[in-house]
Amino acid sequence: MGDGAASVRRLAGERTDYLAGSLPDDAPTDPLALFDVWLAEAFAHRDEHADPPEPSAVVLSTVALDAGGAARPRSRTVLLKDHDPDGFVVFTNLDSDKGREVGTTPRAALLLPWYPLQRQVRIEGTVEPVTAAESDAYWAQRPRGSQLGAWASHQSRPIASREALEAQYAEVEARFMDVPVPRPPFWGGLRVRPETLEFWQGRPHRFHDRILYTARADGGWERHRLQP
């Protein structure tokens, strides 16, 4: 039996018992209230245990259409930078793959995986750009090096070498020497307006807790417990 088969056998035997908590039937009627509690607890756990290292890390999934029109889902990890009743905000190069994909198919899914707490939150909804003022406000908070990197990188495009990439950064660094770095016209925020939020809490025997919130037309939410 080859090494690959042995690796599969080892993975098949992996087991973790989930004992961290539960989701009560009387969970908040507003999912954002529960989200705020869970996000705060993820940061508190990080501050105490250095885990998870990035509590605001979120897997963003978009849809690309191939030449034949077939939908191809694509995922990557980004950082959640804002959230409020209007939605969940990330910032990116809008000419990147994800930026162009939501321009064609303005829908996305988000996943926040808080493994040490044996929790995850899934969010699905429509996508829209944030206002220029919102993008400007966040851009002004970014470290200068990150601002220069945004100008230097033609995100998602091929490049010949790391050396060529560093040369692009050096050119941008020289261009903006001793002056504030303006926000590029191709860089900004994307807001996912949630239609559903699902809270998942690990429980023993894979009998996990799942609470699903679905947006109503009147702005409220319907709450359902899902079977694991």
Is 200 within any annotated ligand binding site? yes
What pLDDT shows up at residue 164?
Answer: 97
pLDDT at 112 over 70: yes
**Per-residue pLDDT, 68:** 87
**3-state SS, one letter per residue, for the chain:** CCHHHHHHHHHHCCCCCCCCCCCCCCCCCCHHHHHHHHHHHHHHHHHHHCCCCCCCEEEEEEEEECCCCCEEEEEEEEECCEEECCEEEEEEECCCHHHHHHHHCCEEEEEEEEHHHCEEEEEEEEEEECCHHHHHHHHHHCCHHHHHHHHHCCCCCCCCCHHHHHHHHHHHHHHCCCCCCCCCCCEEEEEEEEEEEEEEECCHHHCCEEEEEEECCCCCEEEEEECC
Is the pLDDT confidence value at 11 over 90?
no
Say whether 98 counts as a known binding-site residue.
yes
Mean pLDDT of 56-69: 93
26 assigned to some structural domain: yes
Tell me, yes or no, whether 73 lies in a domain. yes
Distances (CA, A) of 51 to 118, 120, 144: 12, 15, 27
Question: Is position 15 annotated in a ligand binding site?
Answer: yes
Q: Residue 10 — very low, low, confident or very high, per pLDDT cuts 50/70/90?
A: confident
Q: Is residue 85 part of a domain?
A: yes
C-alpha distances in angstroms, 194 versus 35, 155, 163?
A: 12, 26, 41
- Asked whether the predicted pLDDT for residue 1 surpasses 70, the reply is no
Q: Is 221 annotated among the ligand-binding residues?
A: no
The residue-averaged pLDDT of 135-164 equals 97
- Cross-strand pairs, 84: 87
Residue 206 assigned to a binding site: yes
CATH (domain of 221)? 2.30.110.10
* 160 in a structural domain: no
Per-residue pLDDT of 74-84, as tens digits, reads 999 999 999 99
What percentage of residues in the chain have a pLDDT greater than 90?
89
Structural domain harbouring 204: 18-140+184-226
* 105 assigned to some structural domain: yes
* Residue the block writes with tokens 């849809």: 63
147 labeled part of a ligand binding site: no
Percent of the chain with pLDDT over 70: 96
* Residue 169 one-letter amino acid: Y
Residue 12: per-residue pLDDT:
85
Q: Shortest CA distance to 53 belongs to which of 35, 14, 79, 74?
A: 79
**What is the count of structural domains for the chain?**
1
Long-range interactions of 43-49: CB distance < 8 A, separation 24+:
45/114, 45/116, 45/117, 49/116
Q: Is 146 annotated as a binding residue?
A: yes
**Annotation marks residue 206 as catalytic:** yes
Residue 1 resides in a domain: no
Q: Which of 206, 216, 223, 225 is catalytic?
A: 206
Least confident residue range of 3-7, 47-51, 117-121 = 3-7
What average pLDDT does range 93-98 have in this prediction? 96
* 191 labelled binding-site residue: no
User: Is residue 8 assigned to a domain?
Assistant: no
69 confidence band (pLDDT: 50, 70, 90): confident
pLDDT for 3 beyond 70: no
